[in-house]
Amino acid sequence: MSVVEIFERLLGLLAGVGVFLIAIKIISNNLESVGGNRLRALFNKTSKSNMLGIGIGTAATALIQSSGATSVMAIGFVSAGVMSLTQACAIVLGANVGTTITGQIVAIGLLGGGDATISVSVILAALAGIGALMMYFAKNDTLKRVGSLLAGFGLLFVGLSAMSGSMEAFASVNAVKRFIAAINFPGYSVVLILVGILLTALIQSSSVTTSIAITMYVSGLLELNQGIFLILGSNIGACVVAMLACIGASKNAKRVALFHVLTNVLRVVLFLIIVEIITAATGGKITVGYLFERLFPHAKPLQLSMFHTLFNVVTVLMLEPLIGAFVKLCTKILPDKPEDKDKARGSGNRFYYIDEHMLKTPPIAVQQTKNEIVNMAEIAMRNFALACDMICTLDNSQLDAFRRNEEELNYLNKEIVHFVVQLSKLEMSEADHRYLSSAFHTVTDLERIGDYAENITEYADRLNSNHELFSDDAIAEIRKMQSLIEDLYQKVMKAYVHVDFNMLREAEVIEDSIDDFTQLMADNHIKRLDEGVCTSDAGAQYISLASNGERVADHFMNVAKVIRDYSLTPKHREVH
């Protein structure tokens, strides 16, 4: 092979790897968009069951084709405090099983070929053309996204074919054959594992490393045992993504990353020990590669992909009963410090449900943004109730708690908007984009509710300063208004969380009654002024308070009404 031919083959190999990586990205993005609701449903099913956590991790990774993304999601949930350390560790362990799906797809694509049969890879590569035609000619957004997904799968096999062709050419060169044969020295397994670690850390995808190893083996560039050790290294290299994700995150997030490293290294070490025992006992006659050659004698691609799957399934099931013990070990290695405990006690504002690591999986990030907004609404309602208590009792003992809540509302208003701006730039479904557009207005409405509650506390402060009180009738009316707004809040949040139009209609009825009642409050107060029951100064505060209560109800209704904007098409909005 001439220098020019070698250079040409290297360029072909590089092109194949590039197309393959792009295909994985396209598949991942489109699976997230198409299967976003299923992905959200999976992560809403976390429980104390380790096996369920492993199943969720497996399914989520198979769905988005990225164990790294699943691990980052788990780290993000732990960092945001919405998932326990044990639950996250179970999901991370399950991600090791889910990542084997890509290897199986690649192996199936490499089956067939030769004089009498058509290569499966060529057939599947044709999906790129079919998907591209769907993207160009389909009118429906869902069909376009499915077309993009098919194109991604097709490109995966286009890249695979390019890599395979280049590797076959190299495998035919005697110098290359001699070099590969020489990789059989004592300790070569460790060297190949290190190569697998470095390659996976570099491209940040164990699936791609595994696929390359399978292609190299089928092309004759590697022996089966050599491919096995490369894949073992990719399992450890997969931890790099999780380690990077925990930088600057909470202590529990760092423990999840440590768990990922410890368990993946342990699984590989245990396997190596077993391999050495078998090799020594049989005098080197029986190796792991030999066993899988016997199991799949006429399906060379499956020999390596099935090893990858069985290794991960068996070792993950072996470690499942030990998750609790590993969690305790990670907690001992990374113990809480006094300053961590002080921070956890709530000195400072923070997100409760979202974390920047979730940006890697937009469907999950959108759902968690909604949860964060629901939490913000709860804080706003809590402050309105505190404000009503203060003006009815003129007891300002809760003023510090009120001010902390107000600071938190201001923080959430600013930071949620910042997060939503980042999230809106990412690939996601049209429905999710519509929701994020509505989120800007919702956050502003909730912040305004906090401002009106703050106005009410200022009215209470003026009454205290002037040594004035509201009459018993006035206080009873304030409590009635507070009760109506509490009822409205409950209906609004049910409508918002569940996209429930029946609840929206019920909320609209309550809002109308609040409008009528606040007008009645003003009318009644004028009568009390005429009767000399209340002073003019107190009256001014009371009229302003009733007006603020009516505006709080308006802003809560705005929160509920956005479900028409993001859950319905323009045609269906008219019906609701």
Rounded CA-CA distance 237/231 in Å is 10
- Cα angle 377, 379, 381 (rounded to 5 degrees) comes to 70
503 or 27: whose pLDDT is higher? Answer: 503
The reported pLDDT for the residue numbered 448 is 95
Asked if 459 contacts 537 with a C-beta cutoff of 8 angstroms, the reply is no
The reported pLDDT for the residue numbered 338 is 58
Q: Show Cβ contacts of residue 37 under 8 Å, excluding neighbours closer than 6 positions.
A: 363
> Which range scores top for mean pLDDT: 48-52, 59-63, 224-228, 377-381?
377-381
451 and 389 in a single domain? The answer is yes
Q: Count of CB atoms within 10 A of residue 555's CB?
A: 20
Q: Grade residue 479 by pLDDT with cuts at 50, 70 and 90.
A: very high
Alpha-carbon distances, residue 498 vs 154, 235, 452 (angstroms): 38, 40, 27
Rounded CA-CA distance 526/318 in Å is 77
| Residue carrying structure tokens 């194949």 | 16
60 and 208 in a single domain? The answer is yes
Q: Show Cβ contacts of residue 267 under 8 Å, excluding neighbours closer than 6 positions.
A: 96, 235, 311, 315, 316, 319
Alpha-carbon distances, residue 479 vs 316, 398, 444, 521 (angstroms): 58, 18, 26, 11
Does residue 39 surpass a pLDDT of 70? no
Asked if 287 contacts 275 with a C-beta cutoff of 8 angstroms, the reply is yes
Examine residue 338 and state whether it is found in any structural domain, yes or no.
no
Rounded CA-CA distance 569/140 in Å is 13
Rounded CA-CA distance 69/205 in Å is 10
Examine residue 348 and state whether it is found in any structural domain, yes or no.
no
> Which range scores top for mean pLDDT: 26-30, 166-170, 389-393, 567-571?
389-393
Rounded CA-CA distance 510/326 in Å is 52
Examine residue 555 and state whether it is found in any structural domain, yes or no.
yes
386 and 309 in a single domain? The answer is no
166 or 507: whose pLDDT is higher? Answer: 507
Examine residue 349 and state whether it is found in any structural domain, yes or no.
no
Alpha-carbon distances, residue 49 vs 73, 87, 364 (angstroms): 19, 8, 21
The reported pLDDT for the residue numbered 184 is 65
**Over the chain, what is the mean pLDDT?**
82
Interval 496-523 mean pLDDT: 92
Asked if 308 contacts 103 with a C-beta cutoff of 8 angstroms, the reply is yes
Residue type, 291: L
324 and 362 in a single domain? The answer is no
> DSSP 3-state assignment of 183?
coil
118 and 47 in a single domain? The answer is yes
Q: Grade residue 575 by pLDDT with cuts at 50, 70 and 90.
A: very low
Rounded CA-CA distance 219/355 in Å is 43
The reported pLDDT for the residue numbered 457 is 92
Which tokens hold the place of 373? 């907004």
- Structure letter (DSSP) for residue 356: G
Which tokens hold the place of 430? 């049209």
> Which range scores top for mean pLDDT: 13-17, 220-224, 473-477?
473-477
Which tokens hold the place of 476? 């009873």
> Given 300, 333, 366, which residue is the final one in a domain?
333
Q: Which of 148-152, 303-307, 309-313, 342-346 shows the lowest mean pLDDT across its residues? A: 342-346
> DSSP 3-state assignment of 574?
coil
Q: Can you give the C-alpha Rg of the chain in angstroms?
A: 31
Q: Grade residue 179 by pLDDT with cuts at 50, 70 and 90.
A: low
Closest residue by Cα to residue 259 from 440, 433, 71, 395: 71
119 or 550: whose pLDDT is higher? Answer: 550
- Cα angle 5, 129, 124 (rounded to 5 degrees) comes to 75
Q: Count of CB atoms within 10 A of residue 479's CB?
A: 13
Q: Count of CB atoms within 10 A of residue 286's CB?
A: 13
The reported pLDDT for the residue numbered 115 is 47
> Given 333, 348, 379, which residue is the final one in a domain?
333
Interval 318-328 mean pLDDT: 91
Q: Show Cβ contacts of residue 141 under 8 Å, excluding neighbours closer than 6 positions.
A: 430
484 and 561 in a single domain? The answer is yes
> DSSP 3-state assignment of 196?
helix
Rounded CA-CA distance 385/379 in Å is 10
Rounded CA-CA distance 315/517 in Å is 66
The reported pLDDT for the residue numbered 186 is 61
161 or 116: whose pLDDT is higher? Answer: 161
Q: Grade residue 453 by pLDDT with cuts at 50, 70 and 90.
A: very high
Residue type, 70: T
- Structure letter (DSSP) for residue 127: H
**pTM for the whole thing?**
0.69
362 and 303 in a single domain? The answer is no
The reported pLDDT for the residue numbered 505 is 93
Mind listing the pLDDT tens digit for each residue in 75-123? 777 776 667 888 889 988 998 898 888 888 888 877 765 544 456 667 7
> Which range scores top for mean pLDDT: 94-98, 148-152, 242-246, 284-288?
94-98
325 and 443 in a single domain? The answer is no
Percent share of the chain, pLDDT over 90: 30
CATH of the domain at 476: 1.20.58.220
Mind listing the pLDDT tens digit for each residue in 225-234? 888 998 999 8
Which tokens hold the place of 182? 């020489």
14 and 134 in a single domain? The answer is yes
The reported pLDDT for the residue numbered 310 is 92
Examine residue 468 and state whether it is found in any structural domain, yes or no.
yes
Does residue 531 surpass a pLDDT of 80? no
456 or 7: whose pLDDT is higher? Answer: 456
Q: Count structural domains, the chain.
A: 2
Q: What share of the chain is helix, strand, coil (3-state, %, to 5)?
A: 80, 0, 20
Examine residue 250 and state whether it is found in any structural domain, yes or no.
yes
The reported pLDDT for the residue numbered 407 is 93
306 and 385 in a single domain? The answer is no
316 and 363 in a single domain? The answer is no
Examine residue 165 and state whether it is found in any structural domain, yes or no.
yes
Does residue 494 surpass a pLDDT of 70? yes
- Cβ-based burial of 13 (10 A; exposed 0-12, middle 13-18, buried ≥19): buried
Mind listing the pLDDT tens digit for each residue in 363-383? 878 888 998 999 999 999 999
Examine residue 193 and state whether it is found in any structural domain, yes or no.
yes
**Domain residue limits at 188:** 3-333
Q: Grade residue 422 by pLDDT with cuts at 50, 70 and 90.
A: very high
The reported pLDDT for the residue numbered 411 is 93
219 and 288 in a single domain? The answer is yes
Asked if 329 contacts 256 with a C-beta cutoff of 8 angstroms, the reply is no
357 or 277: whose pLDDT is higher? Answer: 277
Alpha-carbon distances, residue 567 vs 218, 334, 433, 470 (angstroms): 49, 44, 11, 45
Closest residue by Cα to residue 452 from 518, 538, 361, 380: 380
